[in-house]
């Protein structure tokens, strides 16, 4: 047996080496130094490989064997993860380390009786929910669903009301006044006139932002207005634009050159993420106007639908909770889905 064999790591590819020439043996590649590692961000999942944006461009990366052996039940690598990559050639690499996540957009993994987190997007900073004031008309029950997803994932939500050039800002403010009163930041924008673009620019800068909203509200057009050189095709944020495609769970990041860490995230099917996995007893906590009254009900397991001594129902009657928001709460609680034409 040869002596002084260099240290080897558990790479999953093996090859014959001159050291073993003529002996018919194979061994793993020599371990590289940690100084060879480079930081990156996972921008897309490709089956068992990942597209990682690094300082010298994008690389298609595998996951190091040691990490695979150590993986638990939860998601090992997700889009948005900050990772350390060992370069392999010019455009390939090996994910050597995954940094601890600061936040997630996740759901319960389907097809299992155990509660296992399925991370759709790692490290999002905020959710930008885009609706138009007209063409199409805003469906505010849908907006409530987006806000529940954001609240349940503990992500700050910003509401962007687009196409204000059609109706004027005053009409837009009137239609969305409820959400301003609830404390959500509102941006009134128009890709045509440039209104609100500077505000969006500053809100997105150096953040990973999940972009959500129904079809036809102008999400890609707004992003192009913020940075025309990106030249997103209209509808390129495909997960939010197409109807009937909500079973797709893959996420993808697009870099916006507004700062070192500025990305927008395309996450198909956001309306389903976490929404139908929310415990009905917890739903009230994800309505910012209902949450203050939840613990004041007579019964701790109050559904806020029919029980005597319900503080939420009393708050609705007193005008402290709007009937429209309470209606959204009831519809989600009852599992009522929106009609296809509403999407």
47 located within any domain: yes
Condensed to tens digits (0 to 9), the pLDDT of residues 132-171 reads 999 999 999 999 999 998 999 899 999 999 999 999 999 9
In the prediction, which pLDDT does 67 show?
Answer: 82
Q: Are 328 and 257 in the same domain?
A: no
Identify the CATH number of the domain in which residue 331 sits: 1.10.40.50
Determine which of 31-35, 196-200, 259-263, 294-298 has the lowest per-residue pLDDT on average.
31-35
Total count of domains within the chain: 3
Quick one: 253 and 155 in the same domain?
A: yes
Pair 221, 248 in one domain: yes
pLDDT band at 271 (very low <50, low <70, confident <90, very high): low
Pick the last residue of a domain from 240, 272, 304: 272
Domain check: are 253 and 306 in the same one?
Answer: no
Higher pLDDT, 283 or 36: 283
Under 8 Å between Cβ of 24 and 41: no
Q: Which of 248, 272, 296 is the last residue of a domain?
A: 272
Task: Kindly state the average pLDDT of the residues 268-297.
Answer: 82
pLDDT tens digits for range 9-59: 443 433 334 444 444 555 455 555 566 899 999 999 988 899 999 999 999
**What pLDDT does residue 232 have?**
62
What is the pLDDT at residue 7?
42
Q: pLDDT averaged over the chain?
A: 82
DSSP 8-state code for residue 18: G
Q: What is the largest CA-CA distance in the chain?
A: 88
CATH number of the domain that residue 66 is part of: 2.40.50.140
The backbone region for 279, taken as left when phi is positive above 0, alpha when psi lies in -120 to 50, beta otherwise, is: beta
Task: List pLDDT tens digits, range 286-299.
Answer: 999 999 999 999 99
Residue 21 lies in a domain: no
Last residue of a domain, one of 272, 300, 327: 272
Same domain, 267 and 308: no
Q: What is the CATH number of the domain that holds 126?
A: 3.40.50.300
Same domain, 222 and 201: yes
* Cα–Cα distance for residue pair 230/239, rounded to 1 Å: 18
**CA atoms of 235 and 239, how far apart (whole Å):** 9
pTM of this structure? 0.80
One domain for residues 193 and 66: no
Is 1 a member of any domain?
yes
Residues 208 and 255 in one domain: yes
Give the span between the Cα atoms of 177 and 263, in whole angstroms. Answer: 29
Domain with 77 in it: 1-16+27-100
Residues 314 and 255 in one domain: no
Does 113 reside within a domain?
A: no
Instruction: Look at residue 63 in the predicted model and tell me its pLDDT.
Output: 93
Q: Which residue has the higher pLDDT, 286 or 340?
A: 286
């Amino acid at each position: 047996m040869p002596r002084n064999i260099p240290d080897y790591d558990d790479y999953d590819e093996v090859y014959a080496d001159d050291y073993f020439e003529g002996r018919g043996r194979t061994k793993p590649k020599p371990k590289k130094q940690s100084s060879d590692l480079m930081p990156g961000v996972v921008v897309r999942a490709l089956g068992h490989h990942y597209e990682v944006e690094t300082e010298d461009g994008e690389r298609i990366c595998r996951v190091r064997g040691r990490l695979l052996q150590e993986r638990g039940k939860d998601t090992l690598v997700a889009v948005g993860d900050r990772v350390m990559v060992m370069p392999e050639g010019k455009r390939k690499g090996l994910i050597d380390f995954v940094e601890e996540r600061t936040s997630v957009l996740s759901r319960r993994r389907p097809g299992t009786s155990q509660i296992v987190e399925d991370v759709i997007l790692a490290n999002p900073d905020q959710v930008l929910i885009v609706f138009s004031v007209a063409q199409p008309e805003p469906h505010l029950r849908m907006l409530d669903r987006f806000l529940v997803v954001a609240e349940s994932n503990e992500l700050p939500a910003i509401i962007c009301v687009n196409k204000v050039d059609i109706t004027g800002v005053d009409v837009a403010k009137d239609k969305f006044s409820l959400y301003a009163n609830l404390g959500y930041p509102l941006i009134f924008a128009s890709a045509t006139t440039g209104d609100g673009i500077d505000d969006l620019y500053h809100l997105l800068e150096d953040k990973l932002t999940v972009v959500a909203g129904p079809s036809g509200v102008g999400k890609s057009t707004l992003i192009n207005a913020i940075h025309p050189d990106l030249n997103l095709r209209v509808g390129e944020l495909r997960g939010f634009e197409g109807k009937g495609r909500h079973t797709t769970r893959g996420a993808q990041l697009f870099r916006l050159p507004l700062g070192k860490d500025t990305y927008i995230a395309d996450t198909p099917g956001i309306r389903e993420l976490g929404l139908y996995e929310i415990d009905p007893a917890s739903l009230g906590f994800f309505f910012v106007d209902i949450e203050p009254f939840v613990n004041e009900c007579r019964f701790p397991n109050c559904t806020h639908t029919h029980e005597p001594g319900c503080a939420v129902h009393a708050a609705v009657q007193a005008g402290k909770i709007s009937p429209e928001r309470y209606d959204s709460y009831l519809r989600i609680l009852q599992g009522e889905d929106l009609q296809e034409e509403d999407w």
